[in-house]
Structure 1
Amino acid sequence: MLRHLASEHPGDVRLCVFDPVGLGQSVGDVLNLAEYDPDLISGKVWSSAQDLDGRLAELAAHIELVIQKYLRTAYETIDDFNADAGEVAEPYRVLVLFDFPTSLSEESASRLKSILQNGPRCGVFTIMALEETANAQYGVGVSALTNATRRLALESGFQAEVDGYKLRYSFEPEVLPEANSVAQQVIEAIGREAATRTATAVSVDKTFGLFNAVATRGLRAELPAAATRTRFHDPSTWWQNDTVRGISAPIGQKGAREAAILTFDSGDHAGGLLVGRPGSGKTTLLHSYIAGLTTLYSPEELSLYLIDFKEGVEFKVYAEEGLPHARVVAVESDREFGLSVLESVQLEISRRGELLRGTGGRQASMQALRQATGQTMPRILLIFDEFQVLFARNDKLGLSAADLLESIIRQGRGFGVHVLLGSQSLAGMDALGSHVHQLLPVKILLPASEQDAHKVLGDTNNAGSYLATAGEGILNAAGGAIESNERFKGSILTEMDRVVRLQVMREKADTLGFMTRPMVFEGSKAAPLDTVSPASFREELAATGWAPLRIRAGRPMAVGQLGDLTLTRDAGANVLAIMRSTDTQIGGESSGALALGLVAISVASVATSSANIDIIDFLSNDDGLDAALEPFLETQRITLRRRRAFRDTLERYAAELSDRIERDDTRAGARVLFLVGIHRARELDADSGSLDADEDLAEMLTQVMRDGPEFGIHVWMWAESLSAVARRLTSDMMREIGWRIAGRMSGEDSDRLIGNRLASELRDNQLVLTNDDFGISTRVIAYQPPSRIWLTELANLTPHNNGDSHA
């Protein structure tokens, strides 16, 4: 055994030892290999009859795989195959049986005979230590087995014929060195090297070359013809393929000269399931597949929805570099966002269904519609990594998501919509029926638990038992049928190459006019407003004309929704935002920055219109608000005053309102009064016994909030907490607030403010936007405070009509 281990590179020889009497003692220091890499000795030293049956069955299956998938008629032995295979070379296996034929059954003996006959050609060798006193079970022909081997009689010696002379030999065994000597040093050296050796990676470039060769030879009819001309590192050859018949890309290498190709189409390959335990190479495989697809197909032919539910940033690079094919990129996704993605995909299926019905039944599928009309209709691939998180709870959301997913899987194939679900395990999905993942005909299994392997491939398919190394996998495009197993080694695209490639792809897309960028959702991280063009921002918010006013509160957490509120000329069109600020400055970290970001984006939103904007800042003089809004102050687009100007400003608003009411002028220009830090406005103290309270001031504010919206006059307020608001605003004022924005707060406060506990479930940098009159309840990601450069550019695009200056 030592000489076998030392004759090849560490890790290229794997032992399988059966020791029914010694229970592992017979192998001495070899046992220590398991401490470095259990695969070096097949997990452990085996000892029971059931163990022997299982190991022999595995080896027999491995030999069958090598003969049928690797050698075929192209290679005589595994050595020939390995010479061409490179990174996917098969390790040698050595079966060691002590106390033979102890525990050997008739069925196991039949398997052993096959292993002895066919194993050497496939790199499987057998060493049997015959125990002559052991009785073989009935039906086991020991002589038939030993005659198929080279026998070495340790006690009686042996004879051999050399150059016509018969020579008799006696055997003098090599003395095994004592413990802590040479043998132990060899074992430790092999173990350390095998454990630390990085598995030879298969490059995406190589697998793409194998993919080109398959397309060129015409071995796969579903592959697009232009694939023969596509070169992975040549951008001029990208995007020449269409998705009329489906989408295909390589995910790794199988055998010595073939690519493992993952295909989705409108027939028997509608969707896929990818399972692999942590560290198995699941995410690496997804990156490689995405790289292949986006090389072959243009954004006009393929749309990707990339959703990752685990706490990681694996898909973040596609958002940062603006992958042209991506419609949505989500990192650390909320379950609500995942549900909204499914809802948006279902809506797209319905839209495409309407297109088909519009043909009067002449076309039965999107493929037929494209072929008949020439109209481009991109295929959609929804990639859900760690999808089990969405269905972990058997609640209303989980059940709704399960229904939508099943509907998309069943209906999507005919409309060019496909699903690839990835997970570390299929356990713990209470809301999703076990039949749903069985609807996905394409299975990709990486190293996983035995239970998950059987769930993926089926109870009778044991191919997953032989996957031990990260990146090894089984691709099965026939629902787990054993004869469709394709064993492969996944390809790798390094992170640096991935980033550079995406930058080149983004530049190519911009040049060709594919200007769209993905909608990005990143867990609890505030959204950067600076990534949005100020011109586009103004154009979006000003699209409604002079009324209603649109105010952006955040980036929506659901596909197809808006993070905007609209100030119509109706009762209740006022705004109250409540989020805690524990910092001395509104522009500080955490919730302080959250409040500043909300104030800044709200003011910027109104500034895109022709409305007049007045701001009263009740906070300290060094709160940072004037610095944050300086570009609008410099252009005199807004006025910003301290609390001492509150009465004068409110009196002007009340007088303007009275004049508009008298003239019944409901189309006069809009005015918005921002009250920042209303929780510090002691002048409005609802406690009539307060020395600072000014009842006339409170009555004026109540009148403006009650009657103002109908005549284009609105009030926007921010406060730190609901309890502080209760001290400053009367119940009459609260009734006039239709739009409410809540940060994270207690369940009780959430109930009082918005009528439910949704605000208590928010994560950092998340807000909930509600309006009971319109039936709106939308979760949004708050924006980071915009930069001065961004605000300056926006200010230069907005009308300068306020007239008043900073006081």
Structure 2
Amino acid sequence: MGNHRNALVEAVRHELAEARGTARAVLAAAESARAEAQRRRRLVRDAYATCLTQLAEARDSARSTIERRFQGEANALAGNAGSLAALCAPGAASSSWRMWSPTEPEQGGRPGLLRIGTIDFEHATMPALVPLLDAAHLQVSGDDRIAVDGVISGVLLRALGTTRPGDVKLTVYDPERLGGTLAAFAPLGLTFVGPGGLGPMLDDLVEHICRVNETVLAGEFGSLAELTAATVGRRPEPWRVVVLLFDAEVAPAQRAQLDRILRAGVACGVHLIIRGAAVEGAERIVVRHGTGTTDTTGDLPIRLDPPPPAERIAAFCRGAAERLREGPPPARLADLEPEKIWSRSSAHGLVAPIGDGPDGALVEVPLGDDPPHALIGGPSGSGKTNLIYAWLGSLCARYDPSELALYLLDFKEGVSFARFTPGPRDESWLPHVRLAGVNVNHDREFGLALLRHLGDELRTRAQAAKRHEATKLAELRAEDAAGDWPRIVAVIDEFQVLLAGRDAVAEEAVTLLEDLARRGRSQGIHLVLASQDVSGIEALWGRSGLIGQFTLRIALPKARRILAENNLAAAVIPRFHAVVNADSGVAGANQIVRLPDASDRLSWRTLQRRLWRARPAGCSPPRLFDGDTVPALPRFRSSAAGFSPGAAGSSPGAAGSSPGAGGSSPGAVLGERIDVAARPARLRLGRMPGRNLAVLGTRVDEACAILASAALSLAAQGPAHFSVVCTLPEAQHSAARLVAELPEADWYDESDLAQLFEVIPDEIPHYVLGYALDAVPGHKDRLRRMLADGPSQRTHVLGWWRSVPRLRDDLGGPGARLDAIGAWVALDVQGADLGPLCPVPGGPAWYPRTRRALFFDRSVHRVPEVIIPYEVNHDPT
């Protein structure tokens, strides 16, 4: 007898160890591969059921043989089962009602098990779970009708709380209480079927199953769950959950339809929850005296959860109904990211998703030889900036900075693209961005500078392609593998501002755009233009060929004139959606895309920091041009060839210098050029006639800043002598502070003016700085002689006159020649008033604006250029 007992003990021990080992192995595999949790959901669910079965058998065997000797082993096994339960019923599927809240499911994720109560096993407690969605039907029976209905309410609330609003359509057949049993779910708009509607309802479900099998699954997939998993997207059909609250047995005619649904419904997303009728093919839940048992948990007693409070059900259903009315929420930016960043080559084009389609699959947008350029349209507030963020994030996650270079320009008032550059709150930047321009709605010249830069790049690539006998970028990259030839994408938001009016800026911009659109495709330069409406842009009239190059059209809700005239898709799409059309907007090529919320700063920062940390060595931060920021005067350092401002990164060959302008002659820095590179505007002061400067206008602070930046930059280039005169009270403080900073400077007042305007030959340059020279009394003849003869003797006048007529008066009157002024900077002076000083007939098209100036150097410029006067801080700190 003892030997038999010992053998039985060893058998039980072996069974317990084997069951525990199986459960631990599955648990370890599930936890170490959470990324594959959806694929293994069914495996975990089966392991949970197997573990419970073995636990019950082991418990019974242990009690019948050696009573509680191996209870510790069984408790360990129960702990493993509890861990498995947490994996296959996360969040709202298993949390207690006191802590319960809905859980947003993962995209394409498969639903798990649902809690109905708990199983108590000595010192271990685990949730009791049952399958439903994509897994089973339920048949609930028992001796307590209220408890049975409470189980059904709890299962429904958990199923709805673990799916998105609208993913489950609920129907209730309640002939006894006419819908009152589950009335708390009414805000969801569920369908109640009365006593006479059972037959038609079952017929409708059978027809629905037939349709799904024929048109959706079509023999390619065995179930909607398999289809959803294969496409990693949203379900093509919602689940249909039908609650049948029978008070009697089902009639034979209806029983046949019911059996068909029980056999084929789960694969097609149709699930029955049946009360009061015995059926085959459903998961059974039996309620007796406040406890329950299920097919999954075996005969282990379940302590049933109390029914969820009716007010909690109603509040959840109202919230879900409100979300359903608002339409589907935007997708996540993370959904657009590939598994591995920077794994694509741009040699043959760029392809990246911007959102998901109606079937849940990502919709990819191409840029390459066809289509080469994109046009984005939508009214204010429709989400253009968000769409651009999503597209750029998707592109930058797939192509590394050597494959893709970005130039970004935003003409609306705002800093949409500033987040891609280093800032005071975030030091990271998007490694692909070479240039970002923000707040440039008043600086159309910067947009023109960008187009000129792209035009230069186009010519460089065309010349390289010619040398290598290549016709497109892919061939050039194959022939010149060591070259730096990334695809360039230039995004210009609200580009209609650049083309506003019929002035020289708009005319040149259209010409450059047309050339880039026509020839850019073969050299890997792509334009993305965004606007509210292109129909009213005067500069495009008669240039239909330009817009015709933009064959990729993306229309946001209520967009006008982006798609073809007979294509009305943009008028009916909801918020967070767009129409993507790669065939110039013709109706047959529409793709409807749901866009992610890419404007969320936290989501974007997560992606940007990931890319920034992976940036290659030597990757420099992008250039940020902010039209609302006044640049500070750079720190100057001496150089053998003159000077270079360390902060600006310019060279002696910058604008304002040329062999004809004096070669290595000293250069006065007057402000920053509005250009792709942050370079100073400089005036060479050689020995040629006319090497003097006139600052024109009444803005005191800016005039003083220009004179100060010129003097400080000249002082940094070697020995020089400065003479300063100022009789205007508003400017005397600035002039005095400048004198204090200059190494060799004399201050002249009214009694010294005769000596000031004497031209004395010297070995070192002499610069006369005149603050409001039109206010200096007398000595006009001496001033004119200095302007005419001084440059040849290395004496140069840098003077400020408050208007052009006052300058002419000082130079001899209305008929006087102005040749002595070879360069000028105009502040608040209208373009027409500058006609006598400029070769442009009628004067330049200049409309004064704050902290901007018009600079013209007769020896360098054909037309004046706009510059930004520096902010000059004379404080020693």
TM-score by length of 1: 0.61
> Which of 690, 705, 714 is the matching residue for 1:572?
690
Distance 1:323 1:722, change over 3 A: farther
- 1:554 equivalenced with 2:671 (yes/no): yes
Partner of 2:772: 677
Deviation per residue, 1:377-419 (Å, 9 max, x gap): 1221111111223334355543443333222112111111111
- 1:282 is displaced (CA, Å) by 1.0
For 2:460, the equivalent position in structure 1 comes to: 351
Indicate the residue corresponding to 1:744 in structure 2: 828
User: In structure 1, what is the equivalent of residue 480 of structure 2?
Assistant: 373
- Equivalenced residue count is 581
Unaligned ranges ≥5, structure 1: 1-6, 15-39, 41-63, 93-120, 124-161, 164-184, 213-228, 231-237, 587-591, 661-667, 684-692, 793-807
Asked if 1 retains the 8 angstrom alpha-carbon contact of 2:634 and 2:648, the reply is no
Aligned to 1:708: 790
In the alignment, the residues of structure 1 paired with residue 668 and residue 750 of structure 2 have an alpha-carbon distance, to the nearest angstrom, of 27
Go from structure 1 to structure 2 and tell me whether the alpha carbon gap of 1:358 and 1:206 turns closer, same or farther (over 3 Å shift).
same
Distance apart, 1:70 and its partner CA? 12
Report the counterpart of residue 330 of structure 2 in structure 1.
Answer: 201
Supply the distance in 1 between the matched residues of 2:476 and 2:712 (Cα, whole angstroms): 45
Q: Is the CA contact 1:580–1:720 (under 8 Å) kept in the aligned structure 2?
A: yes
1:768 counterpart residue number: 854
2:802 is the alignment partner of 1:720 = yes
Which residues in structure 2 correspond to 1:728-739 (within 5 Å)? 728-731=810-813, 734-739=818-823
CA pair 81-363 structure 1, distance change in 2 beyond 3 A:
closer
Report the CA distance shift for 1:319/1:507 in structure 2 as closer, same or farther (over 3 A): same
Partner of 1:311: 413
Partners in 2 of 1:571 and 1:72 — Cα distance?
89
SS class of match (2:453): helix
**More deviation in 554-563 or 384-393?**
554-563
Describe the superposition over 1:668-702 as per-residue Cα deviations: whole angstroms up to 9, x where unpaired: 44332221232331x3xxxxxxxxx2xxx433332
SS at match of 2:355: strand
Look up the match of 1:421: 529
Counterpart contact for 2:784–2:811, Cα < 8 Å: no
Superposition deviation, residue 767 in structure 1: 0.8
Match among 493, 499, 502 for residue 391 of structure 1: 499
Match of 2:433 among 326, 348, 351: 326
Q: Report what 2:558 is aligned to.
A: 448
How far is 1:558 from its partner? Answer: 4.5
Letter in 2 for 1:380: I
Structure 2 residue identity aligned to 1:708: G
Q: Distance in 1 between matches of 2:707 and 2:433?
A: 31
Q: 1:721 to 1:269 in 2, by over 3 A?
A: same
Among 502, 526, 544, the alignment partner of 1:434 is 544
Q: Tell me the secondary structure at the aligned position of residue 597 of structure 1.
A: helix
SS in 2 for 1:551: strand
Q: Deviations over 1:90-141 (max 9, x none)?
A: 999xxxxxxxxxxxxxxxxxxxxxxxxxxxx999xxxxxxxxxxxxxxxxxx
Deviations 1:314-361 (A, max 9, x none): 1233455465533432224344433333233223212211112223xx
Change (3 A) 1:654 1:500: farther
Quick check: which has more Rg, 1 or 2?
2
Query: How well do the aligned residues superpose, as a CA RMSD in angstroms?
Result: 4.7
Q: Report the alpha carbon displacement of residue 720 of structure 1 after superposing the two structures with TM.
A: 3.0
In structure 2, give the amino acid aligned to 1:278: S
| Corresponding residue SS for 2:872 | coil
2:573 equivalent to 1:467: yes
**C-alpha separation between the residues in 2 aligned to 1:410 and 1:72?**
47
How far apart are 1:569 and its partner, in Å?
Answer: 2.1
The verdict on how the C-alpha distance between 1:71 and 1:313 changes in structure 2, with shifts beyond 3 A counting, is farther
State the AA in 2 paired with 1:671.
H
Aligned mate of 1:282, from 346, 370, 384: 384
Partners of 1:192 and 1:746 in 2: CA distance:
61
Report what 1:339 is aligned to.
448
Q: What is the rounded CA distance, in whole Å, between the counterparts of 2:436 and 2:582 in structure 1?
A: 27
Amino acid of the residue matched to residue 677 of structure 1? Answer: A
**Residue of structure 2 in register with 1:50 after alignment:** none
Distance 1:348 1:729 in 2: 45
Once residues 523 and 379 of structure 2 are traced to their aligned partners in structure 1, the CA distance between those partners, rounded to angstroms, is: 32
Output the CA distance in 2 between the equivalents of 1:565 and 1:373. Answer: 40
Stretch moving more, 722-731 or 498-507: 498-507
**Deviation per CA, 1:746-768, whole angstroms, max 9, x where unpaired?**
35533345464437413221111
Say which structure, 1 or 2, has more relative contact order (CA 8 Å, 6+ apart): 1
For residues 505 and 649 of structure 1, the distance between their equivalents in structure 2, rounded to whole angstroms, comes to 64
Residues 160-193 of structure 1 show CA distances to partners (whole Å, capped at 9, x for unaligned) of xx99xxxxxxxxxxxxxxxxxxxxx99xx88994
Which range moved further: 328-337 or 404-413? 328-337
Q: 1:576-616: CA deviations, max 9, x gaps?
A: 011213xxxx5xxxxx2x22332232123212312514141
CA contact (8 A) 1:323 1:506 kept: yes
Q: 1: CA distance between counterparts of 2:845 and 2:227?
A: 65
Given the alignment, which residue of 715, 731, 753 partners 1:647?
A: 753
Cα gap change, 1:597 to 1:612, in 2 (>3 Å): same
Q: Write the letter of the residue equivalent to 2:332.
A: S
Q: Would you say 1:601 and 2:730 are equivalent positions?
A: no
Letter in 2 for 1:204: L
Q: Which SS does the other structure have where 1:765 is aligned?
A: coil
| Counterpart position of 1:174 | none
SS of the equivalent of 1:777 reads coil
Give the Cα separation in 1 of the matches to 2:798 and 2:218. 75
Contact 2:764 2:794 in 1 (8 A): yes
Paired residue secondary structure (2:717):
coil
Deviation at 1:242, TM superposition (A): 4.1
Shift in CA distance, 678/524, structure 1 to aligned 2, threshold 3 Å: farther
Q: What does residue 491 of structure 1 align with?
A: 596
- Kindly provide the CA deviation profile for residues 607-651 of structure 1, in whole angstroms up to 9, marking residues without a partner as x: 231251414141439844257547834xx2x41524257537526
- How many angstroms apart in 2 are the aligned matches of 1:12 and 1:505? 34
In structure 2, the CA distance between the partners of 1:549 and 1:270, relative to structure 1 (3 Å rule), is same
Distance in 1 between the 2:865 and 2:225 partners?
59
Pair 1:405-2:513 in alignment: yes
Structure 2, unaligned stretches of length 5 or more? 1-158, 168-188, 190-210, 239-266, 270-276, 279-313, 424-428, 637-643
- Offset, 1:244: 1.9
| Structure 2 equivalent of residue 758 of structure 1 | 844
Where in structure 2 are the equivalents of 1:75-474 lying within 5 Å?
193=322, 200-208=329-337, 211-212=338-339, 229-230=340-341, 241-255=344-358, 258-265=361-368, 267-318=369-420, 321=423, 323-333=430-440, 334-359=443-468, 362-374=469-481, 375-432=483-540, 433-449=543-559, 451-452=560-561, 455-456=562-563, 458-459=564-565, 461-470=567-576, 472-474=577-579
* One-letter amino acid of the counterpart of residue 358, structure 1: R
State the shift of 1:486 in Å. Answer: 2.8
SS of the equivalent of 1:604 reads helix
Q: Normalised by the size of structure 2, how large is the TM-score?
A: 0.57
Report the equivalent of 1:223: none
Taking the aligned partners of 2:609 and 2:735, their CA distance within structure 1 comes to: 38
Is the 2:705–2:871 contact (alpha carbons within 8 Å) kept by the matching residues of 1? Answer: yes
CA drift of 1:71 comes to 10
Structure 2 CA distance for aligned equivalents of residues 382 and 195 of structure 1? 38
Distance 1:72 1:713 in 2: 92
Moved more, 283-292 or 725-734: 725-734
Equivalent residues of 1:708, 1:714 under 8 A apart = yes
Residues of 2 paired with 1:605 and 1:77: CA distance?
Answer: 74
